[in-house]
C-alpha cells in the first residue's frame, strides 16, 4: 500500500510517499481502508520532534511511528476475531497512528460509525479536533448555559469545533483569531470575534467564565486577567510554530499543572484520549446540524507533506484534509 513514511526528524522534506506492507489487524483490531484523513498540529510536532521534551514520547533520535497521521474515515476491510461491534463494509471514522496511508489498523474502542450526512473527507476532519473540543468544554470546562466562553485560537482545527460546541452547550461565545479568519469564526456562530492583530483580549476589560486556550501564546497571568472571579482557564497544548524548542507549549502546560494546585481548580490542563463514546456524541451533533466540519483545503495523499507544511507555516484556518 501507499503511505507517508518518516525515518528522521525535520521539515516536511523528511516525509516520503512510499510503498509499504499493508498492516494486519490484531485480534481486537479492525483494518480500515482509508478514504480520507486530516492534518493536526500534532502531525508537524511529530515531524519535527518538537518540542525536544516530547521526543521522550515520539522517539529519542527518530520517530517510533514511521507512518504519520491520526485522523481518518473509511470502510472496514477486515476485523480481528475478538471484534464484536464492527464488520466488513461498515463506514467508520476515528483516530489511530498511521492514518496517512491507504490502510490503517485501529482498536474498535476508538472507532465510531461515520455520520451519515458527511462525506468521508468531512468526517476525517472530526476525530482528534472534535474530541479535544468536546472534552475541553464539556468534561474539563463543564460549560453551562448562559456562561461566557472565550476560545483563543478559534479558527484552528480544534477552535472551529470549540466555537460550535460552546454554542451548542448554550454559552455566549467569543472567538479570537486573525483578520483573515474573522468571517469564518462569525459563520461558525461566535457571538463576538476579537481580531488579535488589532486588539488584546486580555486588556479589553471583558471577563469570561471559561477561557479555552488552544494557542499557548499568553502567560497564565494574562489569561487569568480575562477571567471572572470564579472563571476557569482550560489549557490545551498550543500550535504556535517558532522552530524546535526544548519545552514549547509543554512548558505552559507544566506551569499550569503546578499552579492548578494553588488556584482551587481554576486552571485546568486538558489531556485527551480517543473514545468511541465521544465519537458517538459528536456524530449526534453532526447529524443534527449543530456541528459542521470547517475544511480549509484538501490534498491528495501523495501531497501530504505539502499539506502539513501548509498547516505549520501558513497557519491554516479550519481543517486540512487528505484524500486517499
Partners of 177 in the beta sheet? 195
> What is each CA distance from 85 to 19, 81, 116, in whole angstroms?
31, 11, 18
Q: Compute how many other C-beta atoms are within 10 angstroms of the C-beta atom of residue 254.
A: 13
Whole-number Å distance between alpha carbons of 253 and 212: 13
Provide mean pLDDT across the span 40-55. 80
Count each helix (H run) and each strand (E run) in the chain, helices first.
Answer: 10, 15
pLDDT reported for residue 219: 86
What cell numbers appear for 64 in the block? 517510533
- In this predicted structure, which of 84-93, 99-108, 191-200, 306-315 has the lowest mean pLDDT? 306-315
The pLDDT mean for the chain works out to 90
Predicted TM-score of the model (pTM): 0.90
Kindly report the CA angle at 192 between 189 and 196, in degrees rounded to 5?
A: 115
The answer, yes or no, to whether residue 263 has pLDDT greater than 60, is: no
pLDDT band per the 50, 70, 90 thresholds, residue 12: confident
Q: Specify the DSSP element, H or E, that contains 258.
A: helix 249-260
Sign of torsion, CA 263 266 270 276? positive
- In this predicted structure, which of 118-122, 182-186, 251-255, 305-309 has the lowest mean pLDDT? 251-255
What cell numbers appear for 204 in the block? 479589553
Partners of 320 in the beta sheet? 39, 297
The answer, yes or no, to whether residue 301 has pLDDT greater than 70, is: yes
Provide mean pLDDT across the span 300-311. 95
Partners of 208 in the beta sheet? 227
Whole-number Å distance between alpha carbons of 69 and 301: 11
pLDDT reported for residue 53: 74
pLDDT reported for residue 247: 46
Whole-number Å distance between alpha carbons of 71 and 216: 23
HSE at residue 6, side-chain half, CA atoms within 13 A, is 32
pLDDT band per the 50, 70, 90 thresholds, residue 283: very high
HSE at residue 28, side-chain half, CA atoms within 13 A, is 4
pLDDT reported for residue 242: 46
Percent of the chain with pLDDT over 70: 90
pLDDT reported for residue 243: 47
What cell numbers appear for 31 in the block? 483494518
Residues 6+ apart with CB under 8 A from 161: 126, 129, 130, 132, 133, 134, 291, 293
Provide mean pLDDT across the span 284-313. 95
217-248 confidence digits (pLDDT tens): 888 889 999 999 999 999 986 544 444 444 45
Percent of the chain with pLDDT over 90: 75
Q: Pick the residue with more confidence: 271 or 265?
A: 271
What cell numbers appear for 234 in the block? 482550560
pLDDT reported for residue 252: 53
Q: Which domains does the chain have, with CATH numbers?
A: 2-126+293-323 (3.90.180.10), 129-269 (3.40.50.720)
Partners of 175 in the beta sheet? 151, 193
Q: Pick the residue with more confidence: 176 or 261?
A: 176
51-67 confidence digits (pLDDT tens): 777 777 777 788 888 99
3-state secondary structure of 12: helix
103-130 confidence digits (pLDDT tens): 999 999 999 999 999 999 999 999 999 9
pLDDT band per the 50, 70, 90 thresholds, residue 256: low
- Cβ atoms of 100 and 322 within 8 Å: the answer is yes
Provide mean pLDDT across the span 198-210. 96
Question: What backbone torsions phi and psi does residue 120 show, to the nearest 5 degrees?
Answer: -60, -40
Amino acid at each position: 500500500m501507499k503511505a507517508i513514511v518518516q525515518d528522521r526528524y525535520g521539515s516536511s522534506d523528511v516525509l516520503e510517499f512510499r510503498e509499504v506492507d499493508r498492516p494486519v489487524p490484531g485480534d481486537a483490531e479492525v483494518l480500515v481502508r482509508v478514504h480520507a484523513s486530516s492534518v493536526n498540529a500534532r502531525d508537524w510536532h511529530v515531524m519535527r520532534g518538537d518540542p525536544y521534551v516530547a521526543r521522550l514520547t515520539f522517539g529519542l533520535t527518530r520517530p517510533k511511528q514511521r507512518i504519520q497521521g491520526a485522523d481518518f474515515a473509511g470502510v472496514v476491510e477486515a476485523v480481528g476475531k475478538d471484534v464484536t461491534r464492527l464488520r466488513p463494509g461498515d463506514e467508520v471514522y476515528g483516530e489511530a497512528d498511521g492514518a496517512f496511508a491507504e490502510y490503517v489498523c485501529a482498536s474498535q474502542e476508538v472507532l465510531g460509525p461515520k455520520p451519515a450526512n458527511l462525506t468521508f473527507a468531512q468526517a476525517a476532519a472530526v476525530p482528534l479536533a472534535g474530541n479535544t473540543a468536546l472534552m475541553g468544554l464539556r468534561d474539563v470546562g463543564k460549560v453551562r448555559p448562559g456562561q461566557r466562553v472565550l476560545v483563543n485560537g478559534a479558527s484552528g482545527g480544534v477552535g472551529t469545533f470549540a466555537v460550535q460546541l460552546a454554542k451548542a452547550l448554550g454559552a455566549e461565545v467569543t472567538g479570537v483569531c486573525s483578520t483573515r479568519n474573522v468571517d469564518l469564526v462569525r459563520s461558525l456562530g461566535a457571538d463576538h470575534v476579537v481580531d488579535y492583530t488589532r486588539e488584546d483580549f486580555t486588556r479589553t476589560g471583558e471577563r469570561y467564565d471559561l477561557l479555552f486556550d488552544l494557542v499557548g501564546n499568553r502567560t497564565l497571568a494574562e489569561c487569568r486577567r480575562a477571567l471572572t472571579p470564579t472563571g476557569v482557564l482550560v489549557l490545551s497544548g498550543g500550535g504556535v510554530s517558532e522552530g524546535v524548542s526544548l519545552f514549547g507549549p509543554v512548558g505552559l502546560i507544566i506551569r499550569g499543572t503546578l499552579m492548578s494546585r494553588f488556584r482551587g481548580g481554576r486552571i485546568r490542563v486538558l489531556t485527551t484520549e480517543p473514545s468511541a463514546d465521544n465519537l458517538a456524541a459528536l456524530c449526534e451533533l453532526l447529524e443534527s446540524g449543530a456541528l459542521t466540519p470547517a475544511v480549509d483545503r484538501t490534498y491528495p495523499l501523495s501531497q501530504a507533506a505539502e499539506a502539513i507544511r501548509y498547516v505549520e507555516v501558513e497557519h491554516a484556518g479550519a481543517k486540512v484534509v487528505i484524500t486517499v
